[in-house]
Structure formats: C-alpha cells, structure tokens
Structure 1
Amino acid sequence: MRIDKFLWCVRYYKTRSMVTEACKKNHVTVNGLVAKPSKEVFATDKITFRKDQITQIITVLDVPDNRVGAKLVDMYRRNDTPADVYQHLELLKLSKEHYRKNGTGRPTKKDRRDIDEFGNDIKSENDDLE
C-alpha cells in the first residue's frame, strides 16, 4: 500500500492530499529515508512524520484493505512516539491559553504595550550580557 493511502487509512490525516503535501515537504520518512507519496509500505516498516508540531513515530503491523474505523486503528499500527512529546504539546497548549483565552479577539492597546515592554526587557537583558 502507498504511504499516503496508509496514513489516511489509519486516520492520521483527514485527506490523502494532506498526506501528499506532507510528503512533498519532506515531513514523512519510512525507515529513515524521505518518502514520496507513492512509496510502498509493508509490515514492520517504521514511519516517522511531523504533524501538529510533534514528530510521531509509528510501526506498521499490518496493511488495511480500506480506511478503518477509529476503534480498529490499533490493529494496523503501533505508536512508538515517546510520552514526553505529548506532554510537551500539552504544555504548549496551556502556555498559549494562559495569556489570552481562545476567542477573545485581538490584543487591546494595554495588551500590546505589555507585550512591547516584555520584549524590551528581554532585549535589555541580552545587551547587558554582552
């Protein structure tokens, strides 16, 4: 089975065109080699791809005939991505939500001044170090 079809079948990407685009940007590797969308995938192949700011590692256990349901995905792949990568992703989400809640719109004038002031403090600290 082709790599683009496999990643679509096991529900890592919503469409095959999204997988194809990721392959063209060299975000997908099979057994350590950069993969084109037409690369064939077999059992025991190790696939590494970058999605949602994390590098995911999966091992192919079997090749499905067609797109499978979410409950059946574990029959066809084993997720070898370290747990600390997912924790790091959660920390990124929390840090983004800490300052401004989603849906609150653009920063106000006061927010903008605070951001500029914070940036100036960092610049002055770096200048002092030199």
Structure 2
Amino acid sequence: MRRFMTTMTMSAFAVGPAMAAAPYVGAWSSDRLNCSATADVQSQTVFTVDRASLSLPEFGCEHATFRKNPTGWVVHASQCYGSDPSLEEPFTRVIRIVRHGATVRFTWHGFDSGPLVRC
C-alpha cells in the first residue's frame, strides 16, 4: 500500500504541470475595460487563444499549433477567416506570441498588437 501511495503521489506531480494551461491561453486586450464591453467592441479588441485555435480582431483561425522558441511561441494558424476581402479564405498565418511578465504581444507580418493584459 505504501508503494502504491508513493507512486500515485509521484504521478500527480508529474501530470500536474502537463495539464496546466499554457501561459498564452486566455483572453487578452490592451485595456481590461474591453473585456466586459459589448460583443461588437470585444470582437474588435479582444484576442482569445485556446490550445488549438485563435480568435483575434479581424479574423479567427479554427486550427493552431504552438511551438515554443527562445523568445516565446510561434503559432502556425490555419483555416483562418476574416474581414479582409483581399484574402482568399481560408488562409494561413504564422503568428508570434511573446510574453513579458503579465503582458503578451502578438505579431505577424505588418502587425503588432502592442502589449496586451489578460482579461
């Protein structure tokens, strides 16, 4: 019984960090007031990230894979749809997420979100 309890305790410590959400998962905005604003304001100002998809102002991506690098994460987003009529849908995008303390920043070619706080 003692061996069983030791094994269970060690397993709990090993699995715990793996089950924790990645630091970029959540809703982010440049102003926390946007987090509780009306839906139309939120759609223009709130960046939402989960383990496998993104919803960003102007577009959303149904699939995303995240890879850690020395400065943050590189996101390969696909099945993206947005409001830019010049883009053929669905499109793909490579997004970089960098965390600085309590803020994150999303960047891609021609775009920088600036520092965002968690909602």
Q: Do they superpose with TM above 0.5?
A: no
**Which of these two proteins has the greater Rg computed from alpha carbons?**
1
Q: Which has the higher strand share?
A: 2
Query: TM-score, with normalisation over the residues of structure 1?
Result: 0.27
Q: Which has the higher helix share?
A: 1
Query: TM-score, with normalisation over the residues of structure 2?
Result: 0.29
